[in-house]
């Protein structure tokens, strides 16, 4: 069975079992062909329990939990619209309005979100991976997702890490606190828009970011002050 057939079969079974919260198949382009299922957050816990307890699947372990940050991006698309023009005032009555196809470039902002990817395997049956994706509403307020730690204990530390580094709040997690950074830390460092604090990184021949930072550290002395200006 190819990867494509396997994911279609799984999708069919889950859609039959959870008709009101069916997952969608996310195809993975590229040679790896590891396709995944996008699962709506409301039914994620129930779907996870089904995947774990179903006698045919028996996905009894979660191997990997990853957070991914998809910031909002601007997309420029070319849209073709049909424009109908009313007939000219001096045209004979009964003339049909002229239709023209107009191409225009439309910019739209694709909203950002955070994504959590679960890789599930079966130790009992030796198959896998089955990949689940959960997406948050946005990157600001709506960052809550259900925790799958009550289903697979393996998610405990990894979900804490996704909370620490990305900011996804897992509801139902037994002990949600920061894992790697200290508790007083603010920000979520793995986000794409995180700005690192300037702590005087040094290079003997600086360029780009470090050069720009270094120039900000020391103002250029005024001419005639006797101090050599940085060349």
Partner 1 sequence: MNPAAQTPEPAPAPAAPAISDAERAELRRQGILLTSIEELYNWGRSNSVWPLQFGLACCAIEMIAASMARFDIARFGSEVFRPSPRQADLLIVSGTVTKKMAPQVVRLWNQMPEPKYCIAMGACAISGGPFKQGYNVLKGIDRYIPVDLYLPGCPPRPEALLHGLMELQAKIRAQPLTGPAAPAHLRPGADGGECVIPDFGPHDLEPPHDPARWQPPRLIRTE
Partner 2 sequence: MNPAAPPSRAGASVRAVQDPFHGDLLEVSMGPHHPSTHGVFRMIATLDGERIVRLKPVFGYLHRNHEKLGESTSYLASMPYTDRLDYLNSMTNNWAYALAVEKLAGQAVPERAEHVRILLAELTRLLNHTCLAGFLLQDTGCSGTPLMYAFREREAILDLFEALSGSRMMCNFQRFGGCRVDPSPAWMEAVSALVGRYDRFLDEYEELITGNEILLARTQGVGVLPAALAINAGITGPMLRASGVNHDLRRVDGYGLYPRFPFRIPLGDHGDTYDRYMVRMLEMRESLGILRAVLRDLPGGPIIDPKAKLRGFRPKPGEAYGRIEGPKGEIGFYLVSDGGPNPYRYRVRPPSLINLTVLEDLCLGHTVADAVIILGSIDIVLGEVDR
Where on the chain is the footprint of partner 1 (CB under 8 A)?
A: 180-187, 189, 194, 196-197, 199-202, 205-206, 211, 214-215, 217-218, 230-231
Site size toward partner 2 (CB under 8 A) is 37
Q: Is 50 in the site for partner 2 (CB under 8 A)?
A: no
Q: Is 28 in the site for partner 2 (CB under 8 A)?
A: yes
- In the complex, the smallest distance separating the C-beta of residue 183 from partner 2, rounded to whole angstroms, is 4
Q: Is 55 in the site for partner 2 (CB under 8 A)?
A: no
| C-alpha to C-alpha distance for 163 and 176, rounded to whole angstroms | 8
- In the complex, the smallest distance separating the C-beta of residue 191 from partner 1, rounded to whole angstroms, is 11
Of residues 108, 142, 153, 215, which one binds partner 2 by CB under 8 A?
153
Q: Closer to partner 2 at the Cβ: 43 or 52? A: 52
Residues 155-184 close enough to bind partner 2 by CB under 8 A: 155-158, 175, 177-183
Using only the alpha carbons of the chain, give its radius of gyration: 27
| DSSP labels, the chain | --HHHHHHHHHHHHHHH-GGG--EEE---STT---EEE--GGGHHHHHHHHHH-TTT---EEEEEEEEEE--EEEEEEEEEEEEEPPPTTSPTTPPPEEEEEEEEEEEEEPPEEEEEEEEE-TTT----EEEEEE-S-SSS--EEE--TTT-TTHHHHHHHHHHHH--EEET-TT---SSS-TT--S-TTSTT----------SS--HHHHHHHHHHSPPPPTTSSSPPP-
Q: Closer to partner 1 at the Cβ: 6 or 214? A: 214
Q: Closer to partner 2 at the Cβ: 14 or 162? A: 162
Q: Closer to partner 1 at the Cβ: 91 or 211? A: 211
Of residues 68, 144, 169, 214, which one binds partner 2 by CB under 8 A?
68
| C-alpha to C-alpha distance for 81 and 122, rounded to whole angstroms | 50
211 binds, among partner 2, partner 1, none (CB under 5 to 8 A by kind): partner 1
What is the contact surface with partner 2 in residues (CB under 8 A)? 28-32, 34, 60-64, 66, 68, 117, 119, 123-124, 126, 129, 131, 152-158, 175, 177-183, 189-190
């Amino acid at each position: 069975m190819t990867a494509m057939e396997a994911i279609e079969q799984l999708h069919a079974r889950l859609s039959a079992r959870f008709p009101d919260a069916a997952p969608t198949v996310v195809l993975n382009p590229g040679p790896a062909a590891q396709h995944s299922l996008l699962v709506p957050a409301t039914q994620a816990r129930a779907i996870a329990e089904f995947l774990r307890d179903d006698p045919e699947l028996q996905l009894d372990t979660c191997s990997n939990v990853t957070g991914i940050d998809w910031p909002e991006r601007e997309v420029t698309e070319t849209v073709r619209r049909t424009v109908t023009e009313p007939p000219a005032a001096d045209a004979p009555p009964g003339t049909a309005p002229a239709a023209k196809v107009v191409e225009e470039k439309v910019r739209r902002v694709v909203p950002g979100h955070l994504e959590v990817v679960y890789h599930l395997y079966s130790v009992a049956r030796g198959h896998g991976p089955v990949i689940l994706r959960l997406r948050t509403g946005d990157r600001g307020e709506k960052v809550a997702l259900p925790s799958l730690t009550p289903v697979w204990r393996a998610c405990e530390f990894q979900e804490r890490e996704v909370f620490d580094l990305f900011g996804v709040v897992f509801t139902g997690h037994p002990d949600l606190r920061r894992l790697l950074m200290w508790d007083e830390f603010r920000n979520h460092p793995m986000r794409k828009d995180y700005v690192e604090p300037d702590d005087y990184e040094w290079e003997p021949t600086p360029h780009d970011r470090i050069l720009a930072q270094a120039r900000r550290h020391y103002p250029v002395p005024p001419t005639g002050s006797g101090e050599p200006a940085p060349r």
